[in-house]
Amino acid sequence: MIMVNPFIENIELFFKEHLYIETLSHRLSSKLKVYQKMIEAGYKNTSNELGVRIRNNDTPIFATSLIISDITESIQKNEIYNYPTGTTNKIYLQDFPNHIKETETRYLYYNLCSCIENLNTFIISITKKYIEIKFAADKNERINQLQKAIRGSTKGDKLFDYIKSLSENFGKFENTNSWNVQIYNWYQMLYTIRNGIIHDYPIVISKDKINGISKPNRDILEHFFICKNREGEFVINTEDTAHIAKIEKSIAEVGFLIFKCYSLDLNYDWHILYHYPQTKDTNS
């Protein structure tokens, strides 16, 4: 009797969410380029007064203002008033190409963070299920250990160590794989990228943090994350969406690795991938 792999539900959900995020990245890039052409073409030959002012950069195309309320004020007056903060954002026609590029970069960065969070959610959910199956007798204690590992991870290190302690196969493939790198180091750099995007945007890794990164890990940054060394700082190259796609692909591959290892550990069938014909490089 063939046992149904209970982890298939986890990997399918992970892949589905991952593809959705990845699709958003590509869709946005193409839509923004079309949008830019429409805006520029729309004002190119406009003869009305507003069109002329916009074309001459006397009037912005778009303008926004931040408006907030004072939440302590409503305590006394029992009413809420909105006030402008004085913070505005004006986009002129001559700056529109840079605005489009900035929007695309931010969106690609945030989507990349979403891919990382999706991987983390997947790892936690599939590991809980793995514990419930393999360690049914003391699953509560094991899950408590997992929660401690999650809380203690600043770069995913504690969580990663815990996974290695559970899965013999993961410990093996973590060092022996077609990437020829330690997945642990890749995972650390993944979290370094994530933290950099959140806290140091538009710089991914600032100068003061570079010295703390080993040469092998810098190589991982440049190879897997397509980071450019700009005056001692690392930034992700977002000029070509294929670069972002490569990062997203590696995230999905690590998710599948965990699924495969857990399945092997418990003698479940892990064969869910199908061969896709590759186009040969005629220049090679």
Q: Dump pLDDT digits (tens) for 176-211.
A: 899 998 898 899 888 888 888 888 777 777 777 777
Q: Given CA atoms 237, 242, 243, 248 in this order, what sign does their dihedral have?
A: positive
pLDDT at residue 261 greater than cutoff 80: yes
Instruction: Check residue 281 and give its pLDDT.
Output: 44
User: Closest Cα to residue 190, out of 164, 160, 155, 162?
Assistant: 155
Instruction: Check residue 196 and give its pLDDT.
Output: 83
Q: Is residue 228 part of a domain?
A: yes
User: Closest Cα to residue 55, out of 96, 98, 20, 90?
Assistant: 96
Identify the domain containing residue 107 by its residue range.
Answer: 8-33+97-265
**H or E segment and range at residue 64:** strand 62-69
Total domains, the chain: 1
Q: With beta carbons less than 8 A apart as the criterion, state whether 87 and 66 touch.
A: yes
pLDDT at residue 4 greater than cutoff 70: yes
pLDDT at residue 129 greater than cutoff 90: yes
In the chain the first and final C-alpha atoms are separated, in Å, by: 47
Q: Is residue 225 part of a domain?
A: yes
Task: Give me the DSSP letters along 215-254.
Answer: HHHHHHHHHHS-EEEETTEEEE--SSHHHHHHHHHHHHHH
Tokens of 225: 């994350």
Q: Is residue 196 part of a domain?
A: yes
Identify any residues that bridge with 84 across adjacent strands, giving them in sequence order: 67
Taking only the tens place, the pLDDT of each residue in 57-113 is 778 888 899 999 888 876 666 677 889 999 999 888 888 888 888 888 888 888 889
Q: Is residue 207 part of a domain?
A: yes
Cis omega before residue 202 (within 30°)? Answer: yes
Note the pTM of the prediction, 2 decimals. Answer: 0.83
Instruction: Check residue 76 and give its pLDDT.
Output: 65
Q: What is the rounded average pLDDT for all residues in the chain?
A: 83
Q: With beta carbons less than 8 A apart as the criterion, state whether 51 and 37 touch.
A: no
SS3 content of the chain, % helix, strand, coil (to 5): 65, 10, 25
Instruction: Check residue 174 and give its pLDDT.
Output: 87
- 135 confidence band (pLDDT: 50, 70, 90): very high
* DSSP classification of residue 94: G
Q: Is residue 181 part of a domain?
A: yes
Q: With beta carbons less than 8 A apart as the criterion, state whether 158 and 187 touch.
A: no
Q: Is residue 278 part of a domain?
A: no
- Residues 79 and 225: their CA atoms lie apart, in Å, by 50
State the Cα angle at 6 between 161 and 150, rounded to 5°: 25
- 150 confidence band (pLDDT: 50, 70, 90): confident
Across the range 135-146, mean pLDDT stands at: 89
- Residues 18 and 244: their CA atoms lie apart, in Å, by 13
Percent over 90 (pLDDT), the chain: 29
DSSP SS3 for 69? strand
Instruction: Check residue 46 and give its pLDDT.
Output: 65
Q: Is residue 12 part of a domain?
A: yes
Across the range 133-146, mean pLDDT stands at: 90
pLDDT at residue 155 greater than cutoff 70: no
HSE of 237 in the Cβ direction (CA atoms, 13 Å)?
16
pLDDT at residue 243 greater than cutoff 70: yes
Q: Looking at per-residue confidence, does 153 or 222 come out higher? A: 222
Q: Is residue 283 part of a domain?
A: no
